[in-house]
Amino acid sequence: MDSYRRRLALLVFACALFLAGCAGRGAAPPPAGHGFEGHPGMPLVVTARSQIGTPYAYGGYSPDQGFDCSGFVWWVHAQNGLDVPRTAHELWAGGRFVPPGERQPGDVAVFRTGGKPKDLHVGIVTERGTIVHSPKTGAVVREEPMTIPYWSSRYLGSKRFHPEFSSALEAQADFVPAPDAP
């Protein structure tokens, strides 16, 4: 019986520890649309989400072909009347650099995915702090948190291409990292 009580006490302690860890994680992201109704980047997010489930295709830039990451970002912008570069490297070199902590829905998040300067990946930032992107061969367009270790450890920065609120960054555009920055 003594062994049973010890195991029960250990189980209760483990559950309490687990629940305490969950309580310390901070607030959950806001629900869809919370505080971002009418935001100039939301049409890009809505367009991006409309393609969730579309297959990845290297070099692809349409729903019929499938998308690679930059083809997806290019298509989303084109559907909203915006002309942006076609490759991830050109996307990183273009647009307005978004200072850390100022990401907005519709911004383009850029990640370093390999050792070469052009080994980049891009996706559309959402109001939830997630990205919608076309990740890799065999996968489909999906939405996932930028905070997962794979993406957070590879995050280079974000770029802004939608003009409605790009001009507000002109005064803050002192630092624009080179496209081949590590």
User: pLDDT tens across 9-59, in order?
Assistant: 555 554 444 444 433 333 334 444 455 677 899 999 999 999 999 999 999
Q: pTM higher than 0.85, yes or no?
A: no
Which member of 39, 69, 77, 89 is catalytic? 69
Q: How far is CA 39 from the centre of its chain?
A: 17
Annotated catalytic residue 69:
yes
CB 112 within 8 A of CB 130: no
Strand order in the sheet with 120-125: 96-98, 155-160, 108-112, 120-125, 130-133, 142-145
CB atoms within 10 A of CB 87: 17
Which member of 77, 89, 133, 162 is catalytic? 133
User: pLDDT tens across 68-102, in order?
Assistant: 999 999 999 999 999 999 999 999 999 999 988 89
Question: In CATH, what number does 38-163 get?
Answer: 3.90.1720.10
Q: Tell me the mean pLDDT in the region 126-136.
A: 97
Angle, in degrees to the nearest 10, between helices 42-49 and 69-79: 120
Which member of 39, 77, 89, 121 is catalytic? 121
Annotated catalytic residue 89:
no
Annotated catalytic residue 15:
no
